[in-house]
Amino acid sequence: MDDVTLARAVHILSIVHWIGGVAFVTLVVLPVARRVADPRQRLALFESVERRFAAQVRLSVPLAGATGFYMAERLDAWLRFLDPAQWWLGAMLLLWLVFMAILFVIEPAIGNRLLDAGRADPSGTLRVLERTHGLLLALSAIVVSAAVLGAHGLLA
């Protein structure tokens, strides 16, 4: 097996962990949390799951990026990122940047304030969380599908 194939396998494995986790939180944890009667417990359930998941994706998201950059370098693919016909490459990079910003900039900067808002208005905060997670999951599904189709020449 050559190094690019290995990088591709690690790339996909990190993405399965990361986007799969986003799907689980969005489609399982948040709907379960909504059914918990006590609003404070509702948010506490979400927070405990999300805290554990966030610690893990702080590894899988950078790993997806590192293997992506490695493949781009080895395949000499940098100019392809500027080609509109291969928009899926730019979409991958953009989605990665969005998650990196959430994990390493936005969450550390306003995470505590979000927790305070959650304590003050648990139902409203849960609704905002549901919307943002739904949006991120929909974008991720589009990018994953486009990347697989694009990498195998089916979008050209």
Q: Which residues bind ligand HEM (CB under 6 A)?
A: 8, 11-12, 15, 19, 64-65, 68-69, 71-72, 75, 77, 92-93, 95-96, 140, 143-144, 147-148, 151-152
CB nearer to ligand HEM: give 53 or 96.
96
CB of 129 to ligand HEM, least distance (A): 21
| Residue 44 vs 98, nearer CB to ligand HEM | 98
Nearest to ligand HEM of 125, 140 (CB atom): 140
Residue 120 CB, shortest distance to ligand HEM, in Å, is 34
- The Cβ of residue 11 has, within 10 Å, a number of other Cβ atoms equal to 22
Cα Rg of the chain, angstroms: 18
Check residue 135 and report its DSSP letter: H
Which residue number, 32 or 135, has a Cβ lying nearer to ligand HEM?
Answer: 135
Task: Give me the residue label for tokens 């509702």.
Answer: 42
Q: How far is the CB of 155 from ligand HEM (least distance, A)?
A: 11
Q: How far is CA 88 from the centre of its chain?
A: 16
128: closest CA among 118, 138, 139? 118
Cα-based distances in Å from 54 to 60, 85, 100, 104, 111: 10, 34, 11, 10, 12
Q: Least distance from C-beta 128 to ligand HEM, angstroms?
A: 23
108 vs 153 by CB, closer to ligand HEM: 153
* Secondary structure of residue 153 in the 3-state scheme: coil
Give the residue closest to ligand HEM by C-beta: 68
| Contact between residue 80 and residue 125 where contact means Cβ atoms under 8 Å apart | no
Minimum CB separation of residue 64 from ligand HEM in Å reads: 5
